[in-house]
């Protein structure tokens, strides 16, 4: 069925889209050919700045269904009734690669989930690992610089990566995760997701709880070895994006069982690990996960650029009953994510269909700016006003956080069992012998590439402090490769 004539951006019908206007049959092109000028000018501007991190990604729409009453812990409306469904959009990504990088690489995977709730959008921005490399956002730009291309060589350099990790021992736990079997998921469908950070829930009575989110894949965990990933990256760089799209197209909708760990606020001060340290987990024996829902992806985007590349997420997008914690990495991200999308997509990025609320309406006094669509018409743009404009509720979204002491550049407080190695050692000791062998093989192959012995020795020393056997086996493997 015809859609009518091809037109210019202004709506005028196009007579000839095959030949540009020239001065005579063989003469130069004329500036008056506005179709040519319009097409070339638009083409030059088709891309926006790619994400500095998480540039390579794929996404899909779905639904979250609440399967357990959680009103004793949170007053969030979308978590208020068993069976209630909320539309979602989930973007998966790799961290270090550029927009055109391969999917099947050893890298954490972003797990950014947007809930389109009746109280506005709630963004839960996490990864496929429960921990991270650092615990303070002030180190994040330095960390990412080590993962990206070196300013002189133009390539990722083992020296940079291991120099930073060796000098940042808090990374030992996450690095052990990353170089284990789960470091290269077979697909986005076959991996778990985590909120990673600690968040606050507050119930209707004002009681506060600290929570961690877990998304357990219903497809089962499947991973790739280093050798399998290298082959797949060469044959099909788009493997994970393609797998996600095709599974939804054939009606094989991927799903995750959603769980939360819940800590009463009063427990935090005396818990054996700092509960707000992103390099630590809460052992399940201490706070068993509680199943609360099911997440299913069931609709593909119709346009990757409009809906995946221009999608924005911010951990500062909370709804009533959910809020932040004192996690220093989370606190930094509350600013950084919003700042990134205002620069990258534009000040009115929240107006785009994938980003705007779907179950309610955004009512703000923000006006104008790049690509403002005039949606507010003639409404007053200040508050308070006596012309029927939106007004404040006087009820905070979440509970207050108690603070004490003086301002200063304080390190993250240590709790009774806190150090940078204990949980990495625990993770290593949970592994089978085969898993340990692959972990050592993956790590040694990368460490052996560094050019300085002191960088390699410092890196190995961190793993030795996590577990003596771990360090001993890694040292022998690196020495054999460097010989």
Which are the catalytic amino acids?
54, 127
**Residue 465 CB-half CA count within 13 A:** 16
Give the residue carrying structure tokens 């956002």: 137
Q: How far apart are CA 100 and CA 103, in angstroms?
A: 9
Angle at 123 between CA 372 and CA 238, to 5 degrees: 90
Closest CA to 198 of 79, 116, 117, 287: 287
Q: How far apart are CA 206 and CA 457, in angstroms?
A: 51
Q: How far apart are CA 112 and CA 104, in angstroms?
A: 19
Is residue 236 within 8 Å of residue 242, measured between CB atoms? yes
Q: How far apart are CA 349 and CA 343, in angstroms?
A: 10
CA trace torsion 142, 144, 149, 150 (10° rounding):
10
Q: Which tokens go with 310?
A: 């221009």
User: How many beta carbons lie within 10 A of that of residue 119, not counting itself?
Assistant: 18
β-strands 255-264, 290-299: how paired?
antiparallel
Please report, for residues 39, 121, 325, the alpha-carbon distance to residue 322 in angstroms, rounded to integers and kept in the order given. Answer: 46, 12, 10
Q: How far apart are CA 101 and CA 376, in angstroms?
A: 40
Query: Phi/psi at 60 (nearest 5 deg)?
Result: -160, 155
Secondary structure of residue 261 in the 3-state scheme = strand
Q: How far apart are CA 443 and CA 473, in angstroms?
A: 11
Sign of CA dihedral 252, 311, 150, 142: negative
Q: Is 276 left (phi over 0), alpha (psi -120 to 50) or beta?
A: alpha
Angle between helices 453-466 and 158-167 (to 10 degrees): 50
């Amino acid at each position: 069925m015809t859609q009518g004539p091809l037109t210019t951006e202004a709506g005028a019908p196009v007579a000839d889209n095959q030949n540009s206007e020239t001065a005579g049959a063989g003469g130069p092109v004329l500036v008056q050919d506005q179709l040519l000028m319009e097409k070339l000018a638009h083409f030059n501007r088709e891309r926006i700045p790619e994400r500095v991190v998480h540039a390579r990604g794929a996404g899909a729409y779905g639904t979250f269904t609440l399967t357990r009453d959680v009103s004793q812990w949170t007053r969030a409306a979308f978590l208020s009734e068993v069976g209630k469904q909320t539309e979602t959009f989930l973007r998966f990504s790799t961290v270090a690669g550029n927009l055109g990088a391969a999917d099947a690489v050893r890298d954490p995977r972003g797990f950014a989930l947007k809930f389109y709730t009746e109280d506005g959008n709630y963004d839960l921005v996490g990864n496929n690992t429960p921990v991270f490399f650092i615990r303070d956002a002030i180190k994040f730009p330095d960390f990412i610089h080590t993962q990206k291309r070196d300013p002189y060589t133009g390539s990722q350099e083992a020296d940079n990566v291991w120099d930073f990790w060796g000098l940042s021992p808090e990374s030992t736990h996450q690095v052990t995760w990353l170089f284990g079997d789960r470091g290269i998921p077979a697909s986005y469908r076959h991996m778990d997701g985590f909120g990673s950070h600690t968040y606050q829930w507050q119930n209707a009575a004002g009681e506060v709880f600290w929570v961690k989110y877990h998304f357990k894949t219903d497809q089962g965990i499947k991973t790739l070895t280093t050798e399998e990933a290298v082959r797949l990256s060469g044959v099909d760089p788009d493997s994970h994006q393609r797998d996600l799209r095709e599974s939804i197209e054939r009606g094989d909708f991927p799903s995750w069982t959603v769980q939360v760990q819940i800590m009463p606020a009063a427990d935090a001060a005396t818990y054996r690990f700092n509960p707000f340290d992103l390099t630590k987990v809460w052992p399940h024996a201490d706070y068993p996960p509680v199943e609360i829902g099911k997440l299913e992806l069931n609709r593909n985007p119709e346009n990757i650029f409009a809906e995946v590349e221009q999608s924005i997420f911010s951990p500062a997008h909370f709804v009533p009953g959910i809020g932040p914690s004192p996690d220093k990495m989370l606190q930094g991200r509350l600013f950084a994510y919003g700042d990134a999308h205002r620069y990258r997509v534009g000040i009115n990025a929240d107006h785009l269909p994938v980003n705007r609320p779907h179950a309610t309406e955004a009512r703000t006094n923000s006006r104008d700016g790049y690509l403002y669509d005039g949606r507010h018409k003639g409404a007053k743009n200040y508050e308070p006003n006596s012309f029927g404009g939106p007004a404040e509720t006087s009820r905070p979204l979440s509970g207050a956080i108690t603070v004490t002491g003086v301002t200063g550049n304080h390190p993250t407080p240590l709790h009774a069992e806190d150090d940078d190695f204990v949980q990495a050692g625990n993770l290593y000791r949970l592994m089978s012998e085969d898993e340990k062998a692959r972990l050592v093989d993956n790590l040694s192959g990368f460490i052996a590439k560094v050019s300085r012995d002191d960088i390699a020795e410092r890196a190995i020393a961190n793993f030795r402090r996590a577990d003596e056997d771990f360090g001993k086996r890694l040292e022998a493997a690196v020495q054999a490769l460097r010989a």
